[in-house]
Chain A
Amino acid sequence: MKEGKFITLGIETSCDETSVALVADGREVLSNVISSQIEVHKVFGGVVPEIASRHHLNNMSSVYKSAMETAGVSLRDVDLIGVTCGPGLVGALLIGLATAKAFAYAAKKPLVGVHHIQGHICANYIEHKELEPPFLALVVSGGHTHLVYVKDYNEHVVLGRTRDDAAGEAFDKVARVLELGYPGGPKIDQAAKEGDPHSVEFKRVMLEKDSLDFSFSGIKTGVLNYLNSQKQKGEEIYVPDVAASFQMAVVDVLVAKAMMAAARTGEDKLVLAGGVAANSLLRTMLAEACEKAGIALYCPSPLLCTDNAAMIGCAAHYKYAAGLTDDMTLDAYPSLVL
């Protein structure tokens, strides 16, 4: 319901989730409808861009309708339209963008393009109403691994990022190798519960001594090499052990780098965001490390970890509040930098 609130319509289509949300006053979610294409892409073992784009187009109008109905608002009640403009799959992004622009033009509403990672960080404002910048953010998803110092709502300093694969990408690739299926994150998380995380000590790639960057391409090769050598020796492979050991190696690096960043910046608030933030080991280990270091840890609930439009609506709200808007020539930026 409107009731004098400032209502933002958020749209997200950067990868394989078609999502539309309505957010009141930046942090109150009136609706957050997510249509996932996981089942569609499963058979291909990963997201196929052309197929994702086709599904976004087919799904958009019904996802929008459902979000409006759930929130009980009409387009007339909307004060602002926010849409992911990058980074992501360009063909997927442009469905959300074309839709958002047409709505904004038809209903004469302001338009704001949102960086997908800023959206992920903002998921925490929705979850934790008291949270305010500055803080440190660890953003881990299928496409991104970033350590970001959030100075203000719209001011981000990237302290470190992956130089090759994103953490979530490594999960997908290793899950494929272990034949656990797609998407890899939850499959490995599940399989690891039955395994010994120290049965194989995969190399933790820390890069240069002071670096806050990440590298996860080597660990996939490490897993492959291990599997091959076991096979050659004729030894049996216990998949849960490999999954647990792989997961532990990735989480060790993520936690260590996050703590390094906290020590360096002196920040005592750490925000976790992105799809991999739903990983149970990462949450547990990060919570332990934060407690030991006297750092307050903020995590979004699993639904807000995945790609969703509520976080985009929230980010758009704070951009608009700072006077940032876009015009109708807003484009899709597949490699947009934060």
Chain B
Amino acid sequence: MKILAIETTGRNASVALVNENREVWEETSDKKLSHLQNLIPMIDDLLEKCELGIDDVTHIAVSEGPGSFTGIRIGMATAKALAQALDLPAISVPTLRSFAWNVPDFQGLICPLFDARREQVYAGAYYWDEGRCCQAVRDDAWSLDGFLSAVEAADPEHEKEICFFGDGIRVFERALKEWAISTERLSSNDDIGRILAEPEIRLQRATSVAMAALEIAGAGGAKSFELLQPVYLRKAEAERKLAAKGSVPLGSKAATGSDPVGSKATTGSDTVVS
């Protein structure tokens, strides 16, 4: 078994290869180029490092989201096409869940947290129970307060240590500290670093995606590329606005209103939402 894992949901893209002996190799991106430019060359470098060809790969795994909408799609489109062209089974890995493999020996609550803008975070919480990855708080687009309340409810007696991951730390560090103090997980003199992952394991990693994929495949979770689905955890903005206005008859002015819709504009209105 040789699983090729793709991780492009965050700022840094990476790819990894894992075999049935849990040996893993990783290649990370050259940040000067976009994920789209980097991805295939990274895969090629990785395989060369492993002295393998693309035809030796047995499974294609991909980090399914949440994360950058554009990043998710680059990984998904590539994974789907590779699996379709090579006729390989695919493995869809929940991005937040993969963080558990950033700290496979940590006994506390693993809380990845991405900045989702509009005062929300994409977040969930996991913990290890005798070598199995278990979910403590569901993956969702939460308000920060809502998520932290859910974390508190998942461990009201503070039996577990807590560790936050993800690019949300940068944005919400102060709020996390205030929460930790108010819930008496930290005292006001404590360093916030006690509840934050070290920088080098703070973000998405293809190695973790590969290890999570190994577990999913072991549980019979590999599937056809046709069943791969991106997990955005949020509707497109235009859909949200439309839903907020209620159902609008076709062609009426209300439907076009102030939505960010161009006609077939040729350039850049497609912003990366997250």
Contact = CB atoms under 8 A, between A and B. Distances in A.
Contact of B40 (A181, A328, A334): A328
Interface in B37-68: 37-41, 43-44, 54
Contacts of A98: 36, 39, 73-74, 77-78, 81
A185 B236 CA distance: 26
Nearest to B43: A105
B251 A328 contact: no
Nearest to B241: A44
Interface size class of A (residues with CB under 8 A): 35 or more
Interface stretch (A119-127, A141-149, A278-286): A141-149
Interface in B4-55: 33-34, 36-41, 43-44, 54
A172 B263 contact: yes
B145 interface: no
Interface size class of B (residues with CB under 8 A): 35 or more
A332 B81 CA distance: 17
A91 interface: yes
B120 to A, nearest CB: 16
B250 A48 contact: no
A61 B37 contact: no
B266 A102 contact: no
A290 interface: no
A75 B264 contact: no
Interface in A35-60: 41-51, 53-54, 57, 60
A6 B173 CA distance: 58
Contacts of A42: 250
Interface of B: 33-34, 36-41, 43-44, 54, 69-70, 73-74, 76-82, 84-86, 225-226, 230, 232, 236-239, 242, 248, 250-253, 255-256, 259-270, 273
Interface of A: 15-16, 41-51, 53-54, 57, 60-62, 64-65, 75, 87-92, 94-95, 97-103, 105-107, 141-144, 166, 168-169, 172-173, 176, 179-182, 184, 328-332, 334-335
